[in-house]
Each structure stands twice: as C-alpha cells, then as structure tokens.
C-alpha cells in the first residue's frame, strides 16, 4: 500500500506498507500495527507486475482517471497480488 504520492515525494522517500486482510475480531497481536481502511468504492486496474507495465500505467494514470470520470480521493493506493 503506497502511503505517499510519488508526484509529491521523491521515489527514494516514498513509504509503503505490506498488508494482510484479517478479521479484526480474531486478530489479537500487539506486536503488529493495524490500520482500518475506509469503506467505499475503489477502481481496480489489472496490469502485469513488471517495471515497464507499472511505469506505463503511472504515466497514463491521469488520462485513465479523466477518460473514466473517476473521482480521486486522498486514500492510499492498494496493490494486490494473486498466487499463480
């Protein structure tokens, strides 16, 4: 999960969290920080996990947002990976 906007923060200073979705009622570990994500609708984009594909996506994100009339909010970007 990206915590910083790469348009405003240098790449070497961008922060990220690695996340695991848990059931808050059954997760009782004080050694691990937890964060609650706000509910709402999120746009989902399927792209290859390669440097080229990711760079191309971020170069085109403004056009993608405009073309699809998406409303951008100040929320983290969440990346999700599936097992092959």
- Per residue in 66-83, pLDDT (tens digit) is 999 998 887 777 777 766
Average pLDDT, the chain: 81
Mean pLDDT of 45-50: 86
Rounded Cα gap, residues 5 and 11, in angstroms:
9
The least confident of 19-28, 48-57, 59-68 is: 19-28
Mean pLDDT of 12-35: 76
Radius of gyration of the chain (CA): 15
Which residues neighbour 61 within 8 Å (Cβ) at sequence distance 6 or greater? Answer: none
Collapse the DSSP code of 76 into the 3-class scheme (helix H, G, I; strand E, B; otherwise coil) and give the result.
coil
Which residues neighbour 6 within 8 Å (Cβ) at sequence distance 6 or greater? Answer: 14, 58
* Residue 32 pLDDT exceeds 70: yes
């Amino acid at each position: 999960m990206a915590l910083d906007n790469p348009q405003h923060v240098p790449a070497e200073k961008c922060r990220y969290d690695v996340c695991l979705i848990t059931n808050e009622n059954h997760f009782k570990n004080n050694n691990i920080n937890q964060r609650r994500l706000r509910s709402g609708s999120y746009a989902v984009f399927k792209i290859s996990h390669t440097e080229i594909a990711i760079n191309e996506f971020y170069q085109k994100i403004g056009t993608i947002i405009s073309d699809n009339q998406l409303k951008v909010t100040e929320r983290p970007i969440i990346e999700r990976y599936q097992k092959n």
